Amino acid sequence: MSKKTIIGILSCTCFLTGCMGNRFSVWKDSLISSNYKKTNHLWDDANDPYDHLLGPMEEEFIALSDEDLQQQFSDAAIPAPKNDPGEGRLPGIEGFNHPRGLEAEIFRTLYFNTDKDTLEGKSYYQIIDQISQHLRKNPQLFIFVEGHCDERGPEQYNLSLGARRANYVRSMLVQKGVHPERIHTVSYGKEKPAVQERSREAWAKNRRAEFKIYNPS
Amino acid sequence: MSSKIYIRFISIYFFLTFFSSVICAERIEEEIRVHLPTTSPLQPIYLGKIFSQDAVFDVHYLNQLEAILCYDLDYNGSTKVCQRTSDKEQLLRNKDLTAAFQIQNWQSFGIPFIIKCCVNQKQLTLYLFNVSNSCLKTFGPISLSGNLSQDRKKIHKLADILHKTLFSIEGIASTRILFSQKTPHSESEKWISEIWECDWDGANACQITSEKTYCITPILLPKADKFLKEGFFYVSYKTGQPKIYFQASKTDKARRISSLRGNQLLPAVSPKRDKIAFISDASGRVDLFVQAFSPETGKMEKPVQLYSHPHAVQASPTFSPDGSKIAFASNKDGGTRIFVIPITSDKKRPSAVMITKKNRENSCPSWSSDGTKLAYSAKTNGIRQIWIYDFEKKEEWQLTSGPGDKENPFWAPNSNHIVFNSTQDCNSEIYVVNLNQPQAIKISRGLGKKHYPTWGL
């Protein structure tokens, strides 16, 4: 084995070791930013007639002014609807029903990866497309997006994670042209599992966003 | 020639292997060494059998009262009740107090505190003898009603007076624990969750909300001498979305605290009862909010978005005792950790300091009322355990062990006891533990999932 070969092997080893030392958080950040790039690409052609509903709501709360929080559509943040369900003309969640018949084919449950609040996979974006088309065609409909988690995460953290999942789906629908006042979110954390078993398959089925529909007509 | 080089190489290899294994073994031995305290922080106390003179209550009832006092003294984190023996009972049986508490008789047992209880008709009198200074103190007489729920409270109060007398620190036997209990609804067959209240030993448990919906994460309004208003906050799903409500008493109507849109979750109250912190998605992100309020006037200020991060989940705020800082869980730097931020009003995101670094999946922090410690849950060898972060030493240490995922720790007002829920096989129960006795005691009873416990006066 020549000296050059040995030096070459040593340099390669040093280089690879250096790469391994990269922080986990950096990897996670790149993963997250790539997800958001994907969603941003989907939103590129979306018209936004709801500017008046976005941005800091100074009349309701004192908002932070940091720049990274002001970039609309960059982080899937669309302010919650102004009218709370169950308190005005809109009924509470008991007035919303599980999708049935043709609507059950459209409003399909969306599944998330462990501890993730973004969707991965083209099929999910096709479902979002179908739902947004249906909602645009039926402007009388209001929906609830329910955010759920599997049983493995901490209870309190899961309540927040469920809210983030539901809001992610909501903002994607808004970006696809659905009026933000028509979509409400609710987080149940891990309180309402779809499957009671304890297995990888059951957990995958419980990390989900489900839909409920209210049709006033 | 080559075989000689080969032999030399092999011998050097074996020598180095042997040398390194010896060094490593020493280091490993050092790493797994555990230092255990050899002295117990608990003071032994002897609780004599209740002596009855013309008592109107039967022996069974008196035994129940005795068991309540024994529990209060055994798990108060300061004393440990000694086993009863016939010779000590013989001494206490003496009706003449001077004869019963002869110091030379008690010194040989090495027990610093002796308690004798007497019930005369409906009156309970308790005698506390301090062996070290030969001082005898009398407590009572206390009128007993014969109603165990009421008399239980009187015994707890007595235990707290004893604790204050012995250690000059307020006891916690008269405190309350609130929790949410999930049960199937008998009519609709849907699962509902209501807020329950119980004594610190789990007794006197009663439902204090009746919304027939999801009510979770209760938190008691801290008591203050100059303020009379009492009550608790909780999250209810009755309108579909989780919102924070305040209810003054069991019979009072709950009212919504904030008109903020969207989901409102995980409320925390400042010890000075002037602010609440909570998680809300009003902005579309899941952010940490703070809102100033006055429980006396009911006035609510405008909520302030205190912390937000574009790509992170924020959860579980808890106030520092002076109300100037908040600790919360966030996954902004990858895994979920506990961060501390100051409460500011300059519309700039405060710089968050990560304080827990030892374990993965840190969650649900709770700041002790003396401000020196933070309890939180962390995944340890695959199981969630309760850990303590010591602000003075800047160290983290594990409090609980054993099976069951332990979550939602909450400090008692004495900054020594912690209540938490432990989940095993889909069944969640409430436990109490204190820093001096790491063996947790299960206090919840009956069916249903009990979780989100909170402690208060």
Do the Cβ atoms of A63 and B283 come within 8 Å?
yes
Q: Which residues of A touch B279 (CB under 8 A)?
A: 159-160, 163
- Cα dist. B184→B191, B428, B453 in Å? 4, 15, 20
pLDDT in tens, B216-258: 999 999 987 766 788 999 999 998 899 999 998 777 889 898 8
Taking an 8 Å cut-off on Cβ atoms, the answer to whether B363 and A163 are in contact is no
Contacting residues of B for A65, CB less than 8 Å apart: 347-348
* For the ranges A21-30, A61-70, B208-217, the one whose mean pLDDT is highest: B208-217
Q: What is the per-residue DSSP string for A108-137?
A: --EE--TT--S--SHHHHHHHHHHHHHHHH
Report CA Rg, chain B.
27
- Distance, C-alpha B383 to centroid of its chain: 19
CB pairs under 8 A between A and B: 186
A185 lies within 8 A of chain B by CB: yes
Residues B348 and A66 sit within 8 Å (Cβ to Cβ) = yes
Between the alpha carbon of residue A84 and those of residues A88, A96, A169, A207, the distances in Å are 7, 14, 18, 25
Note the pLDDT of residue B306.
95
* pLDDT tens-digit readout, A117-162: 999 888 999 999 999 999 999 999 999 999 999 999 999 999 999 9
What ipTM was assigned to the predicted interfaces of this complex? 0.86
How high is the mean pLDDT of chain B? 88
Cβ partners under 8 Å of residue B18, min gap 6: none
Residue A20 pLDDT more than 70? Answer: no
Count helices and strands in chain A by DSSP H and E runs? 7, 4
Indicate if the pLDDT at residue A170 is higher than 60.
Answer: yes
Other Cβ atoms within 10 Å of B256 Cβ, number: 16
pLDDT of residue B276: 95
- Mean pLDDT across B394-409: 95
- Residue B79 pairs in a beta bridge with B43
Would you call B284 and A68 a contact, using CB atoms and an 8 Å cutoff? no
Residue of B283, B356, B377 to mutate, interface with A, max A Cβ within 10 Å: B283
pLDDT digits (tens, 9 = 90+) for B377-393: 999 999 999 999 999 99
Q: How far apart are CA A121 and CA B272, in angstroms?
A: 49
Q: Does residue A186 sit at the B interface (CB-CB below 8 Å)?
A: yes
Task: From residue A19, give the alpha-carbon distance in Å to each of A5, A28, B334, B348, B357.
Answer: 21, 15, 18, 35, 23
Q: What is the pLDDT of residue B189?
A: 62
Omega into B141 within 30° of 0, i.e. cis?
Answer: yes
CA B252 to chain CA mean position, Å: 27
Residues 6 or more apart in contact with residue A165 via CB below 8 angstroms:
A112, A117, A147, A148, A149, A187, A207, A209
C-beta separation of B181 from B168 below 8 A: no
Q: What's the CA gap between A196 and A138, in Å, rounded? A: 35
Taking the alpha carbons at both ends of chain B, their separation in whole angstroms is 86
Nearest neighbour of A79 by CB, restricted to B242, B284, B331: B284
| Inter-residue contact B48 to B89 (CB < 8 Å) | yes
User: Reduced to 3 states, what is the DSSP secondary structure of residue B45?
Assistant: strand
> DSSP letter string over B139-200?
EEEEE--S-HHHHHHHHHHHHHHHHHHHHSS---TT-EEEEEEEEE-TTT--EEEEEEEEET
- Position B289 pLDDT exceeds 90: yes
Q: Convert the pLDDT of each residue in B365-381 to its tens digit.
A: 999 999 999 999 999 99
Asked if pLDDT for residue B47 goes beyond 60, the answer is yes
Within 8 A of B384 by CB-CB distance, chain A residues are 154
Q: Percent of chain A, pLDDT > 90?
A: 53
Whether A9 shows a pLDDT value over 60: the answer reads yes
Angstrom distance (rounded) from CA B336 to CA B339: 10
